[in-house]
Amino acid sequence: MDYFYDRFEVFVSLDNGQSYSNELRCSTITDNNAYGFATSSTDPVSYDGDNNPAAVIFAPGSPRGLLRINLPDNATQVKIRIAFQCASPETVERWVIDDVKIMGTPNSVSIGTISTSPICVGPSNPATATVGYTLVGMFGASNDLTAWLSDAFGSFVSETLIGTLEDINSNGSINITIPGNTPSGTGYKIRIKSNQPVSTSNETAAFQIVNGVFNVGSPSATNWHEKSAVNWTNPAYCFDEIMIVAKAGSAVSVTP
């Protein structure tokens, strides 16, 4: 079949050359001797493996640009091959490729900050919070994210699963639940893991978990005839109500 215009095709193989899929066809229908691609780095072609190339028309004399094909994430693939073909029927046609680069963006998960700290729990009262995350690179449509809690000293050797998000490949936040039996401590950390591809985030800064409640500070009483004025300082966190205990006949000498 004759073509009366320049045509340039790109084939991609993910099985070390055993099979190729035609992914991109660049051509001009107005003139021969065209050069440069009109595609931009912000509008790449995504590999789909269907051997049905995406068509791109470029103008004669257009500035040289960037031709980009997004390859799928494939953790088991170690050899990728790309073939270029000039499809013009003219025997004197020559195509020059300036540079060929296969570049990958390392996939990574970056964890953000926790929505509240310290986190207060009780024996039968787990606590909820959220933690943000950022995904860098290409993640699968069925990618799952899981959030993990360290021990009170920041070690993840015996980490605890505290949150899950399914089918996530965009930035956001994950809901977490701290179990009610988590011991008090100031060295807890959280990290997030993905499974398509497998990646583990950095760790949050150490934060505090309080199991129980804090007592009031500086309790005192001023007595008058038949009444007393009771004063105290509320805890900064981890309390819901204040209970005042009175004892007939003698002073209350301990904080309830």
Domains within the chain, CATH numbers bracketed: 7-86 (no CATH), 108-211 (2.60.40.10), 215-256 (no CATH)
What contacts 99, CB < 8 A, 6 or more positions away?
none
CA distance 140 to 197: 7
- The two three-digit tokens of residue 24, written as one number: 């991109």
In terms of Cβ atoms closer than 10 Å to its own Cβ (0-12, 13-18, 19+), residue 176 is buried
CA 140 to chain centre: 12
Burial class (CB in 10 A: 0-12, 13-18, 19+), 79: exposed
Say what the pLDDT of residue 65 is. Answer: 53
CB 174 within 8 A of CB 144: no
With the CA atoms of 47, 53, 55 and 59 taken in that order, what torsion angle do they form, in degrees rounded to the nearest 10? 90
Residues 6+ away with beta carbon under 8 Å from 73? 107, 137, 138, 139, 140, 196, 197
What's the residue count for the chain?
Answer: 256
Give the distance between the most distant pair of CA atoms in the chain: 115
Ramachandran region of residue 17, left (φ > 0), alpha (ψ -120 to 50) or beta?
left
Report pLDDT for 2. 43
Residues 6+ apart with CB under 8 A from 214: 235, 236, 237, 238, 239
Residue stretches of the chain with pLDDT short of 50: 1-4, 31, 33-42, 75-76
- Tell me: the pLDDT tens digits for 186-208? 999 999 999 988 899 999 999 99
Three-state secondary-structure class, residue 138: coil
* Per-residue confidence (pLDDT) for residue 42, from 0 to 100: 44
The 8-class DSSP code of residue 15 comes to S
> Would you state the pLDDT for residue 114?
93
| 3 state SS of 85 | strand
d(CA 11, CA 13): 7
What is the pLDDT at residue 61? 54
> What proportions of the chain, in percent to the nearest 5, are helix, strand and coil?
0, 40, 60
pTM of the model: 0.58
Task: Supply 95's token pair.
Answer: 């195509």
Q: How does DSSP classify residue 245? A: -
Give 92's Cβ-side CA count (13 Å radius).
Answer: 2
Q: Report pLDDT digits (tens) over 78-116.
A: 567 777 776 666 655 566 666 666 666 678 999 999 998
